Amino acid sequence: MFHPPIARFVLLSTLGLWVAGPCRSDDLDPGNVPSPSIPERETGVASWYGHPYHGRQGANGEIYDMEKLTAAHRTLPFNTRVRVLDLRNDRTVEVRITDRGPFIDGRIIDLSLAAARAIDMVGPGTDPVALEVLEMPENAPPDVFAVQVGAFREVDNARNLCDLMQARYGQARMVFRAKDGLWRVLVGSKATQAGAGTLTSRVFRETGEAGFVVRVDSM
């Protein structure tokens, strides 16, 4: 059974609390951001996750059931329905986005055990896939993206990095994810993935901190 290891640079989940103080900034105007749009076809590597996450609360608030056809994605809105095509064997499965992930750079989706089983991916653990969005959720919140630059078990380590990012970029915050006990450090608030991607490159160029573009979820 394949369990993605915890990496330093992991993805956003907002099951937790936003931390007030010097590292919080909410100056993106929700009235000026566009409604969510359907992205183009996405290709990359898929992985899957089961235990120990089975029975724990996912990023959208639901209890994760590895026997249901669900998946984690870093930027698609919750409840988006996606067709996953395994490029190794041409098998397909349709899943609903309920969580955030995957936790490894280069991977684009984490499938439930049931979804991985449907495309014969349990044994390999990972496969190249293509994603096609079938349906976006009704009344999805506006797109807001940030750059996650770190994830820490110790809150003081997260706060130190957050303070540095706040001082340099003016927008930084911390979020705690109860599922894995990690504090995330997020930089910026952008209305598009492209804008957040540009910020990701700038942060790496100026500070050496690698990061991921993540959706900021409102719950």
β-partners of residue 146 are 214
The verdict on domain 42-135 having CATH code 1.20.1740.10 is: no
User: What does pTM read for this prediction?
Assistant: 0.78
Nearest CA to 173 out of 18, 30, 13 is that of 18
Assign 36 a pLDDT band (cuts: 50, 70, 90): low
* C-alpha dihedral (116, 118, 124, 126), degrees to nearest 10: -40
Where is average pLDDT lowest: 51-60, 78-87, 93-102?
A: 51-60
**Residue 74 pLDDT exceeds 70:** yes
**Tokens for 150?**
């770190």
Query: Beta strand pairing status for 107-112 and 42-49?
Result: parallel
pLDDT > 70: percent of the chain: 79
Fold of domain 1-34+142-219: Alpha-Beta Plaits (3.30.70)
When the pLDDT of each residue in the chain is averaged and rounded to a whole number, the result is 83
**Residue 136 pLDDT exceeds 60:** yes
pLDDT > 90: percent of the chain: 64
The residue with greater pLDDT, 184 or 112, is 112
Assign 218 a pLDDT band (cuts: 50, 70, 90): low
Q: What pLDDT is stored for residue 3 in this prediction?
A: 35
Where in the chain is CATH 3.30.70.1070? 1-34+142-219
Assign 76 a pLDDT band (cuts: 50, 70, 90): very high
Where in the chain is CATH 2.40.40.10? 42-135
The residue with greater pLDDT, 32 or 141, is 141
Q: What pLDDT is stored for residue 26 in this prediction?
A: 42
Assign 145 a pLDDT band (cuts: 50, 70, 90): very high
Place of tokens 């590292």: 23
Considering 35-44, 56-65, 70-79, the range whose residues carry the highest mean pLDDT is 70-79
- Stated as kind and residue range, the H or E segment containing 68 is none
Kindly state the average pLDDT of the residues 99-126.
93
Q: What pLDDT is stored for residue 103 in this prediction?
A: 67
Q: How far apart are CA 86 and CA 199, in angstroms?
A: 31
Decide: helix, strand or coil at residue 160: helix
Kindly state the average pLDDT of the residues 133-142.
89
**Residue 101 pLDDT exceeds 80:** yes
Per-residue DSSP letter, 90 = -
Kindly state the average pLDDT of the residues 51-68.
92
Q: What pLDDT is stored for residue 182 in this prediction?
A: 86
Q: 52 and 180 in contact (C-beta within 8 Å)? A: no
C-alpha triplet 87, 89, 94: angle, nearest 5°: 70
Q: 70 and 112 in contact (C-beta within 8 Å)? A: yes
Place of tokens 């999805």: 140
Measured between its terminal Cα atoms, the distance across the chain in Å is 32
**Residue 134 pLDDT exceeds 60:** yes
**Residue 28 pLDDT exceeds 70:** no
